[in-house]
Amino acid sequence: MNVKEKIKIFWKKFTENWLWVTIGVYIGTILMGWIEYFRGFLPLIGVLLPTFLIPLLLFGIYYIRKLNIRTINRLIWTIGGASAMGFPIWLFVNYILFVVPWAPFREYHGILRTVIFILSALLSYGGAAYILDKLGKKRDFRRFM
């Protein structure tokens, strides 16, 4: 068996067992991170964030790989479209509510302003997601190009 065949066999086994390899690398990296934290070289946030966010990312990747293409296209249409359309809508609504001289909430401060600010963001992105989900259903979630 020559080197090319060994490399081909290795990559075939790796692509079949990528999840276990990634979990092993994650455990080793997190152990090194916690050791460095206890030695005083890393801050606590530098260890806690990877400890909790990397498993969420791995589960997300594993879940997305198991989905069919129509579901993935629907997620892309809804989430990507809500991000692309929701932000300009949110900017316009907040400009009308807070910035212009005749704005109804121009003088409010504190918790009420924060609640209205967050509520406008949720409604803007939610409305854009709803619109794009309905538009995507008409197009069967196909791409534009």
Q: What share of the chain is helix, strand, coil (3-state, %, to 5)?
A: 80, 0, 20
Per-residue pLDDT, 61? 81
Q: Residue 145 pLDDT > 70, yes or no?
A: no
Confidence of residue 123 (pLDDT cuts 50, 70, 90): very high
What is the C-alpha to C-alpha distance for residues 19 and 60, in angstroms, rounded to an integer? 12
pLDDT of 52: 93
Q: Taking the model in full, what pTM does it have?
A: 0.58
pLDDT exceeds cutoff 80 at 88: yes
The closest of 74, 67, 64 to 140, measured between CA atoms, is 74
* N- to C-terminal Cα separation, the chain: 46
**For the chain, what are the domain ranges?**
3-66, 69-139
Place 36 in a pLDDT band, splitting at 50, 70 and 90.
Answer: very high
Residue 27 pLDDT class (50, 70, 90 cuts): very high
Other residues' Cβ atoms within 10 Å of the Cβ of residue 90:
19
Return the SS3 of 104.
coil
Q: Which range is most confident: 21-25, 36-40, 95-99, 114-118?
A: 36-40
Residues 58/50, Cβ–Cβ less than 8 Å: no
